[in-house]
Amino acid sequence: MALSLSPHYLQSFPSLHEVLDRQSALHPDRPAFCYTEDDAPSEITRVSILEVNRASHRVAHTLSRLPGYDPSAREVVAVILLTDTIVHVALLYGACRAGMVPFLISPHVPLKAIVNLLQTTSCTRIVTTPALRFFITKLLAALTSSHPDSARKLQVNHAPGVREVYPFLGMESVDSPFTPFTMDINATTPEEVYMYMHSSGSTGWPKSIAHSRRALAGWCGRGYLRHWSTLSPPVCLAVPHIHLFHASGILFTLLGSLMSSACMLVYPPTVKTPDALPYVSSASSILSHAKRAGCNAVFSVPVNIHEWAQSEEDVAFLRSLRFVLYGGAPIARKIGSRLWEQGVKFVSIFGATEWGIFPDFEIVPSTVSDGWMYFRASATIPKRWIDQKDGTYELHVLISDEQTPSVLNLPNEEGYATGDLLVPHPEHPELWRPVGRLSNAISLTSGKFAPEPLESAIGAHPSVQGVLVFGQGHLFAGALIEPRLAAFGTLDAQQSDSDSGCEIVRFIADLWPVIAEANELAPSIACLFEETIVITTPDKPLPRSAKGSVMRTEALKLYAREINAMYETLEGAGGCNEFSANRVEKHRSWQRPGRVSPDDYSDSAQLEQWLLSEASALLHREDVDPAMGLFHQGFSNLHSVVFRTRLLQTLSEAIASSLSAEVIYENPSVRQLAQVLALL
């Protein structure tokens, strides 16, 4: 199917909801989204572009009935919710259609950062879901404390549910009952703010990024969308785990379904009652849903690819796909090279919230050395490479009639200096690979973050002499902490493991409130755990520059053995070295006084009490509900790895050997997990 909207049409800078109207009229039956239900895995539900369009009209009707609605006000509305992807999509389109300026905000952003985002955009309304009521209560309290006038003006409303937005889900046709939204609104000009997104916070505090119709029309005209529209059979891209509040969610989930013939695989809708929660994603569920729906392409962050690489069955499926898109962080070189050699067709993605996606989605030929790590820059995006004289180049994205960055920071507003550093392929200079930033941002396998806020918060503790956050290329962030001798003077290289372990436990116990507070300021991917703290010893002080700052490269080399040992424990195949196991066991003595191992591992009640204490300690909260899924109470993929590691270090060898890597995803509540363990 050829692309139905010409570049000439996009040069009029239409709004996204106008494009949706046009596509719905031209291709009403084209599937935009698809999904399968776990209780009917062989049945594929397809949601047409017509159905998405009508859903957006229904959302606009709902929003227009909210108290204080003014179609001429261009009101900034923060969309902070936990809901199904297809509903999230309809909310975005519907808010724009109703004349609002939607601001999609992740509920995983720290409260203080959200307060700042609301303030900088003069937001006057939040649209949310009942499942986030406690979070919203805390947010309003934080806003009231710092900006009482803004808090008084802020309205909070609940978003419509899937049954209201999609009454004929998967079966709507042009003959289905429907009332279009026809109210006159104050439409934006091409240069005015059409919607907001926020940066990830990988290079500091998340920033609000204003996007105009002109900027978004440039995104709609990217070459990969035109290319996808020429492919037969059409692309069916698995993106069930990608949230719409990320730029990748807009670029793939939204625009991929809007501007090409591609169909996006999402998770099935589960938020069908007020307190229901969306589908919990895991690496295994992404591929199982992709297989069931017959997907021919997948987009993922590297952390999932690392897990798939351990399964021959998963690798065989990846090899069968037309392509595997990845981005946000680097794939471990050994894993990427092995999968590439086995026939997996990787396409490296590189972009940012400020300017969209940069590469053309071309599969680099397998004859190109390490080709899977590189991409070909889009020919339609004007650019400039700034030589850093060390083999790296900073990318500048320039403005043109067709492409406009949403942030202009170069002289005379000629474009955007990205701060991203890339290197050309040694044999094919037209191919590029990102290697870092001008700043010190750290790229984990799940995304990037700036270490400075964590280092500053922890370094402010009076017992800390120096701190260095690390984690490049790993799943976990870690912290190398140098104690002041007065606070930790008895630890040295000659002490026994037992004595030094006790000193480490006491020091981290005193320090932990500060680390917990630092975690609140950091993105969730950079959360620190007791297991990821490495304490220096007096015989190896952190190397410092003449200014007294810690020399990052030298410090990481000095403590490479200790850091590698820590990662082997957490990122290895469930094993642990003697020192780490001993240290984790000692941590338990101070984390929570009432925590004890069960006497009878076949008693599910004892197991439940033990698991509850472990989960509570890991989340540092007292109100963990044993019947509720841990991932809806604050658990992330990182928490699940640490939780399983702690279980392995306590359970008998026989039980531990049968504890699969997916056990927490398959049994996400404490009660379910206890029942499973009791049967082992």
Rounded Cα gap, residues 101 and 96, in angstroms: 6
The pLDDT score that the predictor gives to residue 132 is 94
**From CA 608, how far away is CA 264, in angstroms rounded?**
39
Q: What is the pLDDT of residue 500?
A: 58
* CB atoms inside a 10 Å sphere around CB 662: 15
> Does residue 557 form part of some domain?
yes
Query: Rounded to whole angstroms, how far apart are CA atoms 450 and 619?
Result: 23
* Per-residue confidence (pLDDT) for residue 487, from 0 to 100: 56
Helix or strand (DSSP H, E) at 36: strand 31-37
Within this chain, do residues 617 and 510 fall inside the same structural domain, yes or no? Answer: no
Which CATH number do you get for residue 476? 3.30.300.30
547 and 658 inside one domain: no
Q: What pLDDT is recorded for position 583?
A: 39
Task: Tell me the C-alpha distance between 243 and 347, whole Å.
Answer: 20
Q: What is the C-alpha separation between 77 and 96, in angstroms, rounded? A: 10
Task: For residues 509 and 552, state if they share a domain.
Answer: yes
Are residues 598 and 543 part of one domain? no
Question: Do 660 and 532 have their domain in common?
Answer: no
Q: Which domain holds residue 665?
A: 593-678
Domain-ending residue, one of 554, 588, 622: 588
576-621, pLDDT tens digit by residue?
Answer: 333 334 434 434 333 434 445 677 777 888 889 989 988 988 887 8
Its pTM surpasses 0.85: no
**DSSP state, residue 204:** S
Domain boundary among 588, 621, 651: 588
Supply 208's token pair.
């609000």
Q: What is the pLDDT of residue 214?
A: 94
Residue 347 located in a structural domain? no
Q: What are the C-alpha distances in Å from 625 to residues 36, 136, 192, 462, 668?
A: 29, 20, 46, 36, 11
**Dihedral (CA of 534, 540, 541, 545) sign:** negative
pLDDT of residue 590: 35
Q: What CA–CA distance (Å, rounded) separates 14 from 9?
A: 8
Strand partners, 227: none
Q: What is the pLDDT of residue 97?
A: 97
Best CA proximity match to 271, nearest among 260, 261, 282, 279:
279
Which amino acid makes up residue 334? K
Segments in the chain below pLDDT 50: 1-3, 490, 493-494, 496, 498, 573-595
Same domain, 462 and 538: yes
Residue 595 three-state SS:
coil
Point out the domain boundary residue: 568, 588, 608: 588
Residues 457 and 575 both lie in one domain: yes
301 vs 445: CA distance, rounded Å: 7
Mapped onto helix, strand or coil, the DSSP state of residue 126 is strand
Look at residue 194 and tell me if it is in a domain: no
User: Residue 505 CA to chain centroid, in angstroms?
Assistant: 32
Do 568 and 654 belong to one domain? no
Cα separation, 42 vs 417, in Å, equals 48
Q: Are residues 583 and 486 in the same domain?
A: yes
> How many structural domains is the chain composed of?
2
* Residue 632 falls inside a structural domain: yes
Residue 558 lies in a domain: yes
Specify whether 648 is located in the same domain as 529.
no
Token couple for 158: 């609940």
Residue 642 sits in a domain whose CATH number is 1.10.1200.10
Q: Nearest CA to 114 among 194, 201, 192?
A: 201
C-alpha span between 127 and 538 (Å, rounded): 53
The verdict on residue 627 lying in a domain is: yes
Residue 244 lies in a domain: no
Residue 652 is assigned to a structural domain of this protein? yes
Q: What count of other Cβ atoms lies within 10 Å of the Cβ of residue 312?
A: 9
Task: Specify whether 550 is located in the same domain as 646.
Answer: no
**pLDDT, tens digit, for every residue of 419-470?**
988 999 999 999 999 887 777 778 888 877 778 778 878 887 888 888 999 9
**Same-domain check for residues 566 and 650:** no
Residues 603, 646 contacting (CB under 8 angstroms): no
